[in-house]
Chains A and B, each alone.
Chain A
């Protein structure tokens, strides 16, 4: 009997989706440690060993909430031109001791590779300056091998196949000044069976 209670013939087997097949192959090759970092506002969480891409007007505010909810994460935050205010992170309940920041300039890709290869950081945050898919593919392989999550911040989401999760995060219209309510739209999630964009508010 299958999931729907239908009787299966001896030659009929349970259908496996392409994403499940990919996962099985990767697990056989020992490339992926499946899992996710939980988030109260994003039910699917942030995938481990994969690239996620976040856009929208509240992406950093949401990341601050995400890091507060995952206090064990060791984070490397790379910027092409540094303009973050660490005081804001501290005010949002994040310990800055587990953060290392980098003002990379043109050496963003090289620095990201080094940070991922170190196997120290559970999460690496960087601006998405990669127009071509080749560096993204390289970073995707590295994140898989190093079991860390690479979160790319972008202004506009474009279809890119090495990226596992693409999300648009905006401030909820009703959110008060200090309130962390977000309007989240999942554009793509490779690890989900649903292909329809999801809106979480």
Chain B
């Protein structure tokens, strides 16, 4: 077992947020002692080295604007002792460390008081270091110093370990940022400057827990002046694809906020902003980018979402095809990839690359076709392709031809029952 102990210099109000982000390293985590986070990293030695862990931890601490000391040892207790006293050498380790040996999480006040009394008694008989305490015969410990001393001896000699207490992260993910007077902004870019680190934190927390964000709420609390009609401005964003990084989500925020704030600017200064994750989905690829930050599919989905945010719904799309012989019904707009596209070549002749939204009536006389009243000489007629659908799909009976014409790309025309011809597409 290898355990990393992280002692935060300034304990944040909500240590849980940082601990959640630490879940990316290991699911075995302990935050029971105030200001400390313990992570069992030994089981993940194939995923990252200790040096790698320290480098990643540095980045994470910077994101959460925290300063900390990190030490790694063979157990939770050893890492704690190492970080508190700087050594594991029993000759140098003072007996004041007994309080950490007996009650590493400093929760049980009664046990702590007993340990303090024991320390006082040991000092009186001249015991200064742990090594001296260990020289006292076990038989004498109980009679002279009580049960705490026996327990302590067993703990120091690793006969009794420290159980890892259960920690369950908070159900809701909320990040709040209050602004000081000097931290005011007038443009969308300066607002995004403050939003970026908060989004980073949110996505780190989500990544640690193996989730990605599919819906998020942003609330701006404005100063309540008499002229402020709307002191709370709120945006709910539902991402087309669940997002895992602020890099993908920030441009979507930029798009939405700039559009809304252009229409309706902020009426007074912003006092605070609050993010809340409304909906999350399991991040199936949480380990795929472990060694590399490059993930093309993720970037593609993120770009897709950004482009969709800019244009109206349904104007940016992927296409899925089906086996319907009617060209206009042979494909559909969608937002996700088609897992298995059917092979149409065996039974559907080659379709034109461009299809008119509405077929245009054309006139054919001998070897000339009139498209929008302009005559074009027909060079070649293809064989007929009959397409008929049943009454359920609204009955259609069409005879399609591919025509080679002079000076234009080949055209695709069809004839309906009443002998009228229509232009439907181009092979261009």
Contact = CB atoms under 8 A, between A and B. Distances in A.
Contacts of A40: none
A177 B350 contact: yes
Contacts of B354: 60, 83-85
B331 A87 contact: yes
B327 A100 contact: no
Interface stretch (A2-10, A21-29, A42-50, A91-99): A91-99
Interface stretch (A102-110, A130-138, A160-168, A185-193): A102-110
Contact of B310 (A83, A84, A110): A110
B160 interface: no
B337 interface: yes
B66 interface: no
Nearest to A153: B428
A52 B104 CA distance: 69
Residue among B299, B317, B320, B407 having the largest count of chain A Cβ atoms under 10 Å = B317
Contacts of A86: 319, 321, 331
Interface string B292-315: 000010011011101100110001
Interface stretch (B105-113, B129-137, B340-348, B414-422): B340-348
A104 B350 contact: no
A69 interface: no
Contacts of B327: 85, 87
A92 B299 CA distance: 27
Size band of the interface chain A makes with B:
35 or more
B351 A96 contact: no
A104 to B, nearest CB: 7
A61 B341 CA distance: 20
Given A86-B321, A171-B409, A177-B382, A100 B353 contact: no
B307 A60 contact: no
Interface string A70-102: 000010000000011111111110011101111
A59 interface: yes
Contacts of A85: 327, 330-331, 351-355, 425
A178 B327 CA distance: 17
B321 A87 contact: yes
A118 B298 CA distance: 12
B235 to A, nearest CB: 20
B73 to A, nearest CB: 43
B402 interface: yes
B341 A96 contact: yes
Contacts of B318: 96-97, 99-101
A15 interface: no
A83 B303 contact: no
Contacts of B302: 118
6 contacts: A58-B409, A87-B348, A96-B338, A99-B318, A114-B303, A118-B307
Given A99-B318, A101-B317, A120-B303, 10 more contacts: A60-B353, A60-B428, A61-B409, A83-B355, A86-B321, A96-B320, A105-B311, A114-B303, A115-B307, A119-B299
Interface of B: 296, 299-300, 302-304, 306-307, 310-311, 315-321, 327, 330-331, 337-338, 341, 344-345, 348, 350-357, 382, 402, 407-410, 425, 427-428
